[in-house]
Chain A
Amino acid sequence: MTSNSQVAAQFSLRAVLALGAACVVVGFSLFPLYIMITTALKSESDIFSWPPTWTFEPTLQAFKNAFLLFGGQNVLVFLFNSVLITAASTVLAVGLGSMAAYALARFPFRGSKHLAFFILSTRFAPPVAFIVPIYLMFRSVGLIDTHLALILFYTSMNLSFVIWVLRGFFADIPIELEEAALVDGYTRWQVFLRIALPLVRPGLAATAILSAVFAWNEFLLANIITQRDAATIPVYLSGFSASMGIAWGEYMAVGFFAVAPIMIFTLFLQRHLVRGLTFGAVR
């Protein structure tokens, strides 16, 4: 026989174990972030002290250096480039991709399945395999070291993935919802905007996050086709290991700005990632 108190004890033991496990995972995940931020706030002597100091007097010197002095160029320029290129390519990829995905999901035609697979197959080759032809193409049209070059490249890289994922989301919408709207007096385009898009919100959020993360973190092509004007944060960060060793404090300060925006963006969109939005629509 199990008494109530035993049940309660079992339950609370479970809760404690679950909580403990959660703490371990969260600690493991956040520790690098902690090191990054504290290192950015330490003075140079604190950074290199051994054993590492847990308590120290925080200083904003590294941030100041990163913003005003370091490398002779303001980190804000690179931050701006990254934000602009990421935002533009994400909006384009998700915007164009959702239209293409809707068309593929709703208007089947001869070979539409093959077309969908062809679109996916554009991601099969590793980027490094076509980096040289891409460089030559961008050079011949004068796009080297421009924002547009990276926006175009990231959009095209993300597009196939966005289309493939959203096609499934659109296909899952009960067709009657759209038919009802058509009968109610809406055009196909209005149905897409008013009915279909709101219903695939989790898909839009997921593909936007992944597209943005890809564009934000991409280094290979950005490093090759940008030098100054359109260089992004990853390109800037790679410059730190140059001439006189690594300035760890400044490196971590810039690293903080490389991580924070995309984290905030992801956290903001995460609440849209709930499934089951169409629950209750049809029986």
Chain B
Amino acid sequence: MSEVRFSEVSKRFGGASVFERIDLTCPEHKYLCLLGPSGCGKTTLMRLAAGLESPDEGDVMIGGRRVNDLPPADRNIGMAFQNYALYPMLSVRENLTFPLRAPVRRRAWPESKINSRVDDIAQLLRIDWLLDRPIATLSGGQQQRVALGRALIRNPPVLLLDEPITHLDARLRYEMRAELKTLHAKLHTTTIHVTHDQQEALAVADLIAVMNAGRIEQVGPPVEVYRNPNTAFVAGFVGDPPMSVVRMPLRATEGCLQIDFGGRLLDLPEKFSQAFVNTVPPALLIGIRPSSVNLVPSGSPAPIPARVYSHEMVGRELQLMLSVGDSLLRYRSPDIRHFAVGDEVACDVNLDNARLFDAETGVAIII
């Protein structure tokens, strides 16, 4: 029993509210990513589970038990910190054994058991050849493994990871993503992983909870969060590159709904119209996948005039930001051509796969 549940938890620092009445559950054996920009409250939420902060309201439950008043030591969790927080005066081995040698565990972990456990975990994380090195001599990736090893060594039912691979270089981050996933497949430890990197979350999580400004915007499996963002924020945050979320006026002309796209009127696809049978809002937030934007020859019929705002070659493809009216549209193409900032181009937007959001609340309009 190691489900982690936040029940209507609120947290304030001084007078400032971090979040209010948050409900979130990480089911037993699942890998939950708390995803959000910095300052959204995701780390604070995880620290509530660790017992490093206590909620001002609501309950934190681990394995069905209310743990609000339990100190971190008694919660039986493992935690890896963003900056690793390895004990600098101890060797790798001493760092790993530190949790096992806590006075409260003297009976559960006799010396003989400790040594074999250290060997097991060091092998699992491939740091067995580093055991006698001082911490300061390790590289970032090695330190990260030791931090993970220290969190895992007593086989905690719940593992908390605070931006565990953020500080690694890109290649190593890529590798560690796979390893975290493999590790979880092996150990099935209920895991909460805090990150601001949506690619990381999509790659490792069973469940993603997207947070923004102290609210949980959406909880769901990665595919669901990616394909069907519940809010405009999620749409603009998840994906590489994410959807462009643009605010456009909506016009009803002769029974047909049209979007005023930088001066050009685009027909809203038929399937969306049933959402506006009763009322037609003056404007919409529209999430447009970069792949739904096409560059067209300037002579083609009724193009949307755009200007190149920025351009990036990311290896496999070209990514552009196009300014259309007051909005920015992302564009991607495997066809690598040269553009300069300010170039006049013409584009076409396919709204078939667009996602519509209420312009006031940002909530997805489900059809």
Chain A interface (Cβ within 8 Å of chain B)?
174, 176-177, 179-187, 190, 195, 198-199, 277-283
Interface size on B, residues (CB 8 A): 34
Is A281 within 8 A of B73, CB to CB? no
Indicate which residue in A180, A185, A198, A279 contacts B85 across the interface (CB closer than 8 Å): A180
Residues of chain B lying within 8 A (CB to CB) of residue A279: 88, 136
* Assembly CA distance A282 to B89 (angstroms): 12
Convert B30-65 into 0s and 1s, putting 1 for each residue whose CB lies closer than 8 angstroms to a CB of A: 000000000000000000001110000000000000
- Does chain A have a CB within 8 A of B281? no
Indicate which residue in A182, A187, A282 contacts B84 across the interface (CB closer than 8 Å): A282
* Assembly CA distance A176 to B87 (angstroms): 10
Is A282 within 8 A of B136, CB to CB? no
Residues of chain A lying within 8 A (CB to CB) of residue B167: 283
Query: Closest A-chain residue to B147, C-beta based?
Result: A180
Indicate which residue in A185, A198, A280 contacts B105 across the interface (CB closer than 8 Å): A185
- Does chain A have a CB within 8 A of B86? yes
Convert B112-150 into 0s and 1s, putting 1 for each residue whose CB lies closer than 8 angstroms to a CB of A: 000000000000000000000001111010010000001
- Does chain A have a CB within 8 A of B258? no
* Assembly CA distance A181 to B104 (angstroms): 13
Q: B135 to nearest A CB, angstroms?
A: 6
Q: B336 to nearest A CB, angstroms?
A: 36
Given contacts A177-B87, A185-B99, A186-B73, contact A280 B81 (CB under 8 A): no
Q: List 16 A-B contacts (CB under 8 A).
A: A176-B83, A176-B85, A179-B52, A179-B85, A180-B150, A183-B51, A183-B75, A183-B77, A185-B73, A186-B102, A187-B71, A187-B73, A280-B137, A280-B138, A282-B85, A283-B140
- Does chain A have a CB within 8 A of B301? no
- Does chain A have a CB within 8 A of B72? yes
Indicate which residue in A174, A181, A184, A198 contacts B89 across the interface (CB closer than 8 Å): A198
* Assembly CA distance A198 to B86 (angstroms): 14
* Assembly CA distance A40 to B136 (angstroms): 50
Is A176 within 8 A of B88, CB to CB? no
* Assembly CA distance A281 to B89 (angstroms): 9
Is A199 within 8 A of B77, CB to CB? no
Residues of B178-227 at the interface with A, using a CB-CB cut-off of 8 Å, are none
Q: B124 to nearest A CB, angstroms?
A: 19
Indicate which residue in A179, A184, A187 contacts B98 across the interface (CB closer than 8 Å): A184
Q: Of A174, A186, A187, A278, which is in contact with the most chain B CB atoms at under 10 Å from its CB?
A: A186
Q: B150 to nearest A CB, angstroms?
A: 7
Nearest 6 A-B pairs (CB), nearest first? Answer: A280-B136, A185-B102, A282-B83, A176-B85, A184-B99, A281-B88
Indicate which residue in B77, B81, B137 contacts A176 across the interface (CB closer than 8 Å): B81
- Does chain A have a CB within 8 A of B103? yes
* Assembly CA distance A281 to B79 (angstroms): 16
Query: Closest A-chain residue to B90, C-beta based?
Result: A198
Query: Closest B-chain residue to A187, C-beta based?
Result: B73
Given contacts A283-B84, A283-B140, contact A277 B78 (CB under 8 A): no
Q: Of B72, B82, B138, which is in contact with the most chain A CB atoms at under 10 Å from its CB?
A: B72
